[in-house]
Amino acid sequence: MKRNILLVAVVLGALLAVISEAATAGASETHLQIQNQAVNRNRPGVGEQCIYFDPGSVHIGHFIDRGSIELVAAPLRTLSTFDKGDDAARSLKIIRYFGINELCLTGNSKFSYMLVSGKVPKGNIPGEKYVSFNPDQLKAERIAGEWRIANGRSVLFRFGTDEVAARQALRVIQYYGFNAKCAIGGEKGFVFLCAVPQLPSIQKRPYLEAKVAPDR
């Protein structure tokens, strides 16, 4: 009898282990992220790690010991560092405006961007300056010994000698359709990518000269 009970217990234990493993594998990304675990997404041509945070937990921290002003998300994760409190406040406004809740990195952690539940933030905030671009026209190219993502003569991102990082970042930008960049506090502050509405192209018409009525 005891042997049968022990056998049943072993079988049940193994079954529970399998169920638990399956539940973990099938758990939503959000559940894993709430536990502050990085989620690896394998989207076509894009390798990324994303960490969830509650946008309502984001606040401005003044750290006297290291002389910095930081945008912090619970549990104690620094999103950006600033020299000015005004820049931190503007960045916090952007987080809350869009409801941004994911900080993502490319596979080699050389390029970061933010998402709203796995999707690109859409729209812009009045008063903030953006550099707009066409993601399909961007190029990852080596200029003067440095790899850059550029839009014609305008350089958007620099990657030093790391070609792989530049090409990964370009794939991410084109995959999500980012078409605008906002940098608050300089390139080392809060750099935010989003998708803003594009005005329809204006079809140019040839100039029509006014016809002069013949003299009578």
Measured CA to CA, the distance from residue 22 to residue 28 in angstroms comes to: 12
What pLDDT, in 10s, does the model give residues 158-182?
999 999 999 999 999 999 999 999 9
Average pLDDT over residues 110-136: 90
Determine contact, residues 115/104, Cβ cutoff 8 Å.
Answer: yes
At a CB cut-off of 8 Å and minimum separation 6, what does 77 contact?
A: 36, 51, 53, 103
pTM summary value: 0.72
What integer best gives the mean pLDDT of the chain? 76
User: Nearest Cα to 112, choosing from 180, 61, 48?
Assistant: 48
Q: Which residue has the higher pLDDT, 187 or 79?
A: 79
